[in-house]
Chain A
Amino acid sequence: MLFLEKAFLPIFLFLATISGLAFGSMIPVLFLVMPVLVMPLLMYCYTQVYKQKYKALSDELDFDLSNFTASALGMTSAVETSRTSRDLVRTDQPYKYQDLPIIIEDSASLVAQEQIANITSRQLPEIIDAMPSNGSATQHFTAFGQEHWVYRFHFKSVSAEFNAVGIGGLPAEAFAVARQVLEKQIREWHIAREKDLDYYGEANTDILQNLQQAQSMRTVVQMSHKQAPTVLIVEDDMDVATATESIFRQLGCKTILSDGHDGASHKMSFQDVDFIVLDWILGDNLSADELVRKSTRIIDAFKDLRARFQNQHAKVITYSALDKSKVHLPDNKYFDHLDHWQKPVNYSELARRASDMLVANGY
């Protein structure tokens, strides 16, 4: 592809010259054809300009990290004398944008708390959203003495990995340093994925080289990012769908609804779903097993979907008024038939089953 792209301009000029010589007497015709011939040239020029701009964006960071580190570490002696005043606080609750599980004990400043809350609820999701879906992220804020913070970030998905470290006088400064690195890695990842390559973004740990007090650093906030499970509810009866959605939302899940006829197979394939609650009979002679077969064909057709589903199968719960013996999901390499819930199921019983299922699957 790259060769063709580079060869495009000379080939185009050559053909245009030949055409001009051969059909010199056909000036009126060429006049009409000219816009068609010129358009690819304009498009080519446009892409070249765009590439130049993109290259400029991908260049080195606009500040020198090593200088920043040196200035930060220049205050080491002050750090040593004051490092005893902070307490270790760890939080391991699941990461949620809305409900921040941050607990910092007394001595950590209010400003720092606010900054960490802001980073975790607003800035970090922006970064994670720009990364591949279906990955998991971890961040650590570490207090170093009274005035220094170290921020570490790690993200891993099937095809890409991002790592960054930042140091600053406040959590926001530490995060800003890491963010610069991550944004650069994201740009590099886009280039790698265009070439269908996996990407590994190495952490800028050089900024920690001179940090002598690594042993004395205490983690103030540590959060693991395990995204809330996404549940796709495929149900043609909107009343049942409403009740089921209400339960999964209360259990902290993201929900997607489909009545089975609005591209349900695409939602099953392209949306990043962990669980599918699948009504067996979906009206208009559409049944759940057909939907699964359709989705399987879609997944088979895309390399990234195949990789994602082979890495983690979507778990299907069939939900029908039919008896379990009448419900048989075909054996499938991408979908696991987790359970069958036979209707009617009252609300509290449905809530209990949903909760048990999530717990059994590590949520």
Chain B
Amino acid sequence: MDLIKEYNIPIELKGVIPGYIGRRDQDITSLKTFVANQDFDSVSKLGHKLKGNGASFGFDRISELGGLLMKACDRYDIAEVKSLVADFEGEVNSIKSAVL
């Protein structure tokens, strides 16, 4: 699979993608902990970060999920947050399977 075409990854950043994915893996672990603690503030901050960095690497869906996480946290909607965290994990795994 041509990852660059599939995800529109800038060729200049191809070398740093594995590191980026690794950090998103850590984000999944953090998000699950925050959700277990119903720590909406931390989830929102992480969502803000994901919204900012996803598109820069060609992962528009990650940016979108980050924005949705922020909105769900504003509403204190734990069910929506859990669902979005699962979506985020699925997205990271599909990128990982394409990269690694």
Q: Interface on A for B, CB 8 Å cutoff? A: 237, 239-240, 242-244, 246, 250, 281, 320-321, 343-348, 350
Contact = CB atoms under 8 A, between A and B. Distances in A.
A344 B16 contact: no
B10 A240 contact: no
A348 B10 contact: yes
B61 to A, nearest CB: 11
B12 interface: yes
Interface string B4-25: 0000101011001000100100
B54 A344 contact: yes
B55 A346 contact: yes
A280 to B, nearest CB: 10
Interface string B54-93: 1111101001000100000000000000000000000000
Contacts of A250: 12
A343 B23 CA distance: 19
A246 B13 contact: yes
Contacts of A343: 51-52, 55, 63
B63 to A, nearest CB: 4
Contact of A240 (B8, B12, B53, B60): B53
Contact of B48 (A242, A321, A350): A321
Contact of A243 (B23, B57, B60, B67): B57
B49 interface: yes
Contacts of B8: 346
Contacts, number: 59
Interface residues of B, number: 20
Contacts of B53: 237, 239-240, 243, 344
Interface SS majority for chain B: helix
Contacts of A350: 56
B16 A242 contact: yes
Consensus secondary structure, chain A interface:
helix
Contact of B57 (A281, A321, A347): A347
A320 B60 CA distance: 16
A347 B56 contact: yes
A345 B48 contact: no
A40 to B, nearest CB: 56
Given A321-B67, A344-B67, 6 more contacts: A239-B20, A240-B53, A242-B16, A250-B12, A321-B51, A344-B63
A237 B12 contact: no
B56 A346 contact: yes
Contacts of B49: 237
Given A345-B56, A346-B56, A242 B51 contact: no
B51 A344 contact: yes
Closest 9 CB pairs between A and B?
A344-B55, A344-B63, A243-B56, A347-B10, A343-B52, A239-B53, A346-B55, A240-B53, A321-B51
A240 B52 contact: yes
A110 to B, nearest CB: 36
A244 B56 CA distance: 8
A246 B60 contact: no
Contacts of A320: 52
B13 A242 contact: yes
20 contacts: A237-B52, A239-B20, A239-B53, A239-B56, A239-B57, A240-B56, A243-B53, A246-B12, A246-B13, A250-B12, A321-B48, A321-B51, A343-B51, A344-B56, A344-B63, A344-B67, A345-B55, A345-B56, A347-B10, A347-B57
